[in-house]
A and B are shown apart, each in its own frame.
Chain A
Amino acid sequence: MEHTVICRNVSKIYRQDAVSVQALTDINLEIPRLDFVCLSGPSGSGKSTLLNLIGGLDKPTSGEITVDGARVDLLDKGALAKLRLHRLGFVFQSYNLIPVLTARENVEFVMQLQGVRAVERSEKARDILKEVGLDGLEDRRPGELSGGQQQRVAVARAIVSQPSLVLADEPTANLDSKTAENLMQLLRHMNREHGVTFIFSTHDRLVMDFSRRLITLHDGRIVDDRKRE
């Protein structure tokens, strides 16, 4: 089976002055292509740390992480930037849209860095915004959109350039339950229709119910890993 993510004995220790915090301990994980995985667990269990390590935003203290065939724990800054640009998509808890760009420009941002031609960019952005239900709101800036709409723009931005993997860190944490449910349906739709692997973190039961695989972390260790259908 082809795996999008492979973690081997991954540990992460944060050190500040004389204090060390073991955020992750011996994580072993294989996530097949097109999976829809939920990382759950209480605050401080290591969900976000694991997502950051997989996304190359941080380096593990020890262990190996392979994403789409690339050893992210060994890549330098430039190579990591390239990997994130071409193969990964991110959705953050607090949306993290670029406030000075419109919804369409936010979606086009990554494609622009990838060097996609303007016409193609514009067409893809329009289509994906329509797909996430933001038809007619393309020229609004993030400040003029609701939380749910902003998160949809973030999803559109993450998915538009067809990455292998989308990492979503508590994507519904700032949304009401109805909007959260809609967003999860959208992520599921993207997973199926666009053929993209999703890993998202949450401690919301409703969100967990959408996953096909639920991995539970506690104190930096995987304590449960089960398939759901």
Chain B
Amino acid sequence: MRLADLPLLTTLAWRNLWRHTRRTAVMVFALALGVWSMVTLASLVRGSMEQQITKEILNLTGHAQIHARAYPDDPAVAHRFRPAPALDQALRQSPIGAWSARVRVPAVVSSERESAGVMLVGIDPAGERGLSFIPQAVTAGRYLDSPDDPGLLLGRKLAEQLETALGRRVVLMSQDAGDQIADRGFRVVGIFDADPQAMETGYVFIGRGIAQRMLKIGAEVSEIAVMTPDRKRPQAAVAGLRAAAGDLDVAPWTEVQPLLVLTEKINNVVLLIWFAVVFAAMAFGLVNTLLMAVFERTREFGLFQALGMPPRYILGQVLIESLMLLVVGLVLGNAAAWATVASLKGGIDLSAFAEGLEMVGVSPVIYPALAGSDMAAANIIVMTLGVLASLYPAWRASRYVPVEAITRV
């Protein structure tokens, strides 16, 4: 096909498209609706997933973690380590962002009335900024001042369970480096809120220096949590840390939270299935519309051939018609999806189902996230498969025998 003939075919295709305005409008609406549903649903799923991942990363996971080899299976005080100078140097180099060392061991916290099993987390309060949720989570009292701050941060729900309150004293009990019971009294200096609530009941925070002294572990720690510039690509940072970490285990968040990765993969598959289902529905409409248009214009296609138009031009004309339908539908669908996502910028409040959602790790407020990759995937799928689905009607149009087509009533 000559490039110079494209304007002719384009003119014919565009005008033919609007010969039956209502039919074309219905098809464009169906295409737009399909694309809108693809992109909007993808942005909801993606937004929800992003929130889940961000939340898990801030809930003490980080983008990567460094532990003693045995710690992930048995997070006890025995599996601690002292960062070697090489590791310390690697942590201070790009592409590492924020990082902090923690003491993290099982413990029992007791008030005058109740006790509960928790994870004791000894932190460097300044180091946790930009690394975890805790600096922003204190809603009553104060955050810790330093690794040697003698205070303790307690989750709101745990405080209720222990029937204690801000300013009251609790006792923390754990196993020290010499396998002896170590205990110490703390004043509750801050109450924190967390999502999910299990974080409120499962963790207590104290200064790292205090924890090290209590457990008699000197300058040793249980883990180092690290933030990298891009959570989707922590590999470079992890490789650098692994080279410097010696015998230690350096794991990106994808290994620390495999369930989250699996959930993301399942979401991707669900989205693809949704894309396929929506497209299949659209494809039937598209093929039907084009076939009707082709059958109605049998005489015209015969005439085109009688006048000397090569069959491939007729094929091209029908494909251009389909392409135009698809483009108009895609533009409208994408615009509608963009507008929908923009109007839901403040989030979709699903707090009525908060309890159920928390069980599956979904926040009660979902903020849709319009991902370029999802938009591109939806558009490419619709465009590519749409053109492929149009090949049959186009081929039919190009196969008419001129004399039969012209004489058909």
Contacts and interface: CB of A to CB of B under 8 A. Distances in A.
Interface of A: 48, 52, 55, 57-58, 77-78, 81-86, 88, 90, 92, 96, 98-101, 105, 109-110, 112-115, 157
B306 A90 contact: yes
Given A100-B12, A113-B5, A82 B402 contact: no
Select the residue from B5, B299, B311, B406 with max chain A CB neighbours within 10 A.
Answer: B406
Given A52-B403, A96-B299, A100-B16, A113 B308 contact: yes
B406 A100 contact: no
Nearest to A83: B308
Contacts of A98: 12, 300, 303
A112 B306 contact: no
Contacts of A81: 305, 308-311
B190 to A, nearest CB: 75
B344 to A, nearest CB: 42
B189 to A, nearest CB: 79
20 contacts: A48-B407, A55-B306, A58-B403, A78-B310, A81-B308, A81-B309, A81-B311, A83-B308, A84-B306, A85-B308, A92-B303, A92-B406, A96-B303, A99-B300, A100-B16, A101-B15, A105-B11, A113-B5, A113-B309, A114-B308
A113 B16 contact: no
Given A100-B16, A101-B12, A115-B2, A57 B402 contact: yes
Interface string B9-33: 0011001100100000000000000
Nearest to A82: B308
Contact-residue bracket for chain B = 20 to 34
Given A98-B12, A113-B309, A113-B313, 8 more contacts: A78-B310, A81-B308, A88-B308, A100-B12, A110-B307, A113-B307, A115-B5, A157-B307
A112 B13 CA distance: 16
B4 interface: yes
Contacts of A52: 403
B8 A109 contact: yes
Contacts of A90: 306-307
Interface of B: 2, 4-5, 8, 11-12, 15-16, 19, 299-300, 303, 305-311, 313, 401-403, 406-407
Contacts of B300: 98-99
Contacts of B299: 96
A88 B308 CA distance: 9
B5 A112 contact: yes
Nearest to B312: A78
A96 B403 CA distance: 13
Given A101-B12, A101-B15, A115-B2, A96 B406 contact: yes
Contacts, number: 65
A115 B5 CA distance: 8
B140 to A, nearest CB: 73
A57 B306 contact: yes
Nearest to B304: A98
Contacts of A55: 306
A96 B302 CA distance: 10
B345 to A, nearest CB: 44
Given A57-B402, A96-B406, A100-B16, A109 B307 contact: yes
Contacts of B16: 100
Contacts of B310: 78, 81
Contacts of A109: 8, 307
Nearest to A53: B403
A170 to B, nearest CB: 12
A110 B403 CA distance: 18
B409 to A, nearest CB: 10
Contacts of A113: 5, 8, 307-309, 313
B400 to A, nearest CB: 11
Contacts of A92: 303, 406
A114 B309 CA distance: 9
A98 B310 CA distance: 16
A200 to B, nearest CB: 16
B4 to A, nearest CB: 6
A113 B19 CA distance: 23
A48 B303 CA distance: 15
A46 to B, nearest CB: 14
Nearest to A51: B403
Contacts of B309: 81, 85, 113
Would you list the 10 A-B pairs with minimal beta carbon distance, nearest first? A85-B308, A100-B15, A57-B403, A84-B308, A58-B403, A57-B402, A96-B303, A112-B8, A52-B403, A81-B310
B16 to A, nearest CB: 6
A202 B311 CA distance: 30
With a 10 A CB-CB cut-off, give which of B308, B310, B406 has the most chain A CB atoms.
B308
B4 A115 contact: yes
Contact of B406 (A57, A82, A86, A88): A57
A200 B402 CA distance: 19
A136 B12 CA distance: 23
A100 B293 CA distance: 13
Nearest to B409: A94
Contacts of A96: 299, 303, 306, 406
A99 B403 CA distance: 19
A100 to B, nearest CB: 4
B307 to A, nearest CB: 6
A86 B308 contact: yes
